[in-house]
Chain A
Amino acid sequence: MKRNIGGWVMVGLVAVCCGMMGSCKKETKSGGGAPPPRQAQKIVVGFSQIGAESGWRTANTESIKGEAAKRGIDLQFSDAQSKQENQIKAIRSFIAQDVDVIAFSPVVTTGWQEVLQEAKQAGIPVILSDRAVDVTDDSLYVTFIGSDFIEEGRLAANWVVKATGGKANIAELVGTPGSAPANDRATGFREVMAKYPEMKIIKTQSGDFTRTKGKEVMEAFLKSPEGKQINLLYAHNDDMAIGAIQAMEAAGVKPGVDIKIVSIDGVKGAFEAMVAGKLNCTVECNPLIGPALFDAVEKLMKGETLPKRTVIEESVYEQSQAAEAIKTRAY
């Protein structure tokens, strides 16, 4: 433990010295034995991405790669293909390469204790991007940069209040049960809803964040006894909303008119649906975290301390803004 702290202090000192000298040169680093002196003066960041499972993720990756190139940071990028073991391997290889900062979007929340301990012992700071981890010792990472899913739920509910005057019979399409975005987006929404007794969730089922399930569940909702009363749909992501729109059309219900729809993420498909008048509102879950990520990296290199939580700014897009916004969407 003592040696670790020493290592951290040394890293900090070296970084501060570099910062004061006005250069980002960092020749040596104490901590895990005697690391080989590095010739390059660039900051080296190892990033382990979850995979390329959606358009959102691709935009996230591009934002990180693009920002690194812009700032002249040496980015070691590794794709985990949605597997935790790949991610642990990647992190271990970053430690072996003795990078300056490790950043990663964890595939799952648990099982990180050991590998993060190794990074800490090697004196390499770890930044979490987009998703949090479940560890008992929060000194294992320096900061968590990403969206606040609870706030997204609140924003969606606020829009519902605005659009319906706090009176709605809501059908909810929940994400994958147990996942952080599904839990938090449900929590945030209900928090706001508690203040409006005439906002009622009359149907709630999981659509697993997919179009197929979103469509299948909405189909069943519309045929259920309460189906006729539904006048608002809250989907935990855009894809389920897009599936549900297809189900409504097949059932002769006008999406966006007979049933108003609000969803979260802000992917391109959602903007297209808004332009077509079939979706009313999407709460953006901003994937463009590159700038915030490398701001944090540079601050770390200067020896500044970071807050444990860095929240990314998010906006709410309504139908009227969609046509304008779609032109500038990166994802």
Chain B
Amino acid sequence: MKLDYAEAGSVGRPMPDWLVKLIWPVAALGLLLAFNLAFTSLFFRLEWRDGHLYGSLIDVLNRGSPVMLLALGMTLVIATGGVDLSVGAVMAISGAVAAQMINVPGMPFGLVIAGALAVSVLAGVWNGLLVGIFKIQPIVATLILMVAGRGVAQLITGGQYTTFTDAKLVYVGNGHLFGLPFPVTIVFVMLVVTGLLTRKTALGLFVESVGDNEKATHYAGISSRAVKFMAYVFAGLCAGLAGLVAVSNIKCADSNHAGLFLELDAILAVVVGGTALTGGRFYLLGSIVGALLIQTLTTTMYMRNVSPEIAPVPKAIVIVAVCLLQSPVFRNQMRRIAKWRPA
């Protein structure tokens, strides 16, 4: 953090911190989109079909929404200096609960959603207890549910695919609202709610102070336990929503693969978005842009016939570049090299 202020001062443009952090992921996304505009035909083609927009850009928003949801929760967790590895498994649990419940005749739809989210929140409570109250290392604490959670999901579905046809549950991941896929609305609402809660109340400041200096926060009279606990509960809720989107999308609970490795994408999105893994300042918009960057890369690979074996390589290069640009140390080095003139 300190470095950033120093740097902003030295260049002589007093930009708000969040804007500085947003520059690089937005620039990377912009560059990638510009590349696609120039070289990937039809990438920008949008059509109006059956009362909604249709095109690759819409797919990016739609397919990126689970990771965007996860990234919102992950941002707060990482801001407290922690990490939540269990969100992918919690997605699987949430989806499994929803798919099992919807197949019970006469079950009201609201109860299905409430049930799936309640179980996800419970998973968050478990993580929050371990990390916040019992002070177990976040990686270890959430690893438990990451490993065991998929087993729980398997248990719920009996190790089978549970398919469903209920129109309301199918709508969550396949429906359209305002001409856009419904998951986009979920992400938007969650972003606004999270933004308001953290920026218009003191909650965001609490989270940042816990991540920056837990001891000082404690002496200032803020319960770091409660703040951490809430962050994990919120991450659980976000994972639950992402799980509902994922299960609804394929009309089937696939406990083995739902959300598999998505916790890593979420962490990546948060880091690309400018939030440091050491905790402190967090940037919700940055995380969303990070998630969109990852998904745009993936969709670009599909469109451009990059062979599946090497597809991870260009993705990695872009991500590494953005992470390096986010590093003040790296930027200062680059600046020094740029200024250097041979005598």
Note all chain B residues with C-beta closer than 8 A to A250: 174
Contact partner of A220 (CB less than 8 A), chosen from B41, B163, B303, is B303
Among the listed stretches A17-25, A50-58, A191-199, A291-299, which one makes contact with chain B, having 4 or more residues with CB under 8 Å of it?
Answer: A50-58
Q: Are A224 and B42 in contact (CB under 8 A)?
A: yes
Determine if B228 is an interface residue (Cβ-Cβ < 8 Å). Answer: no
Contact partner of B302 (CB less than 8 A), chosen from A205, A212, A252, is A205
Q: Are B309 and A178 in contact (CB under 8 A)?
A: yes
Q: Are A212 and B258 in contact (CB under 8 A)?
A: yes
CA distance A320 to B302 in the complex (A): 33
Determine if A184 is an interface residue (Cβ-Cβ < 8 Å). Answer: no
Determine if B10 is an interface residue (Cβ-Cβ < 8 Å). Answer: no
Note all chain A residues with C-beta closer than 8 A to B209: none
Note all chain B residues with C-beta closer than 8 A to A52: 154, 159
CA distance A187 to B71 in the complex (A): 39
CA distance A226 to B329 in the complex (A): 45
CA distance A212 to B161 in the complex (A): 13
Give the shortest distance, in Å, between A210 (CB) and chain B (any CB).
Answer: 4
Q: Are B49 and A55 in contact (CB under 8 A)?
A: no
Determine if A217 is an interface residue (Cβ-Cβ < 8 Å). Answer: yes
A-B interface contact total, Cβ < 8 Å = 79
Determine if B250 is an interface residue (Cβ-Cβ < 8 Å). Answer: yes
Q: Using an 8 Å CB-CB cutoff, how does the interface string of A89-130 with B read, 1 for contact, 0 for none?
A: 000000000000000000000000000000000000000000
Note all chain B residues with C-beta closer than 8 A to A210: 254, 257
CA distance A223 to B47 in the complex (A): 11
Q: Using an 8 Å CB-CB cutoff, how does the interface string of A22-61 with B read, 1 for contact, 0 for none?
A: 0000000000000000000000000000001111001000
Determine if B217 is an interface residue (Cβ-Cβ < 8 Å). Answer: no
B→A interface (CB under 8 Å): 41-42, 45, 49-50, 54-56, 59, 63, 151, 154, 159-161, 163, 174, 246, 249-252, 254, 256-258, 298-299, 301-303, 305, 307-309, 311
The 8 nearest A-B residue pairs measured at CB: A220-B302, A206-B308, A52-B159, A211-B250, A210-B257, A53-B256, A225-B41, A177-B308
Other than A208-B257, A220-B299, A250-B174, give 12 A-B pairs with Cβ distance below 8 A: A52-B154, A53-B159, A204-B305, A204-B307, A204-B308, A205-B301, A210-B257, A212-B257, A215-B249, A220-B56, A221-B302, A223-B45
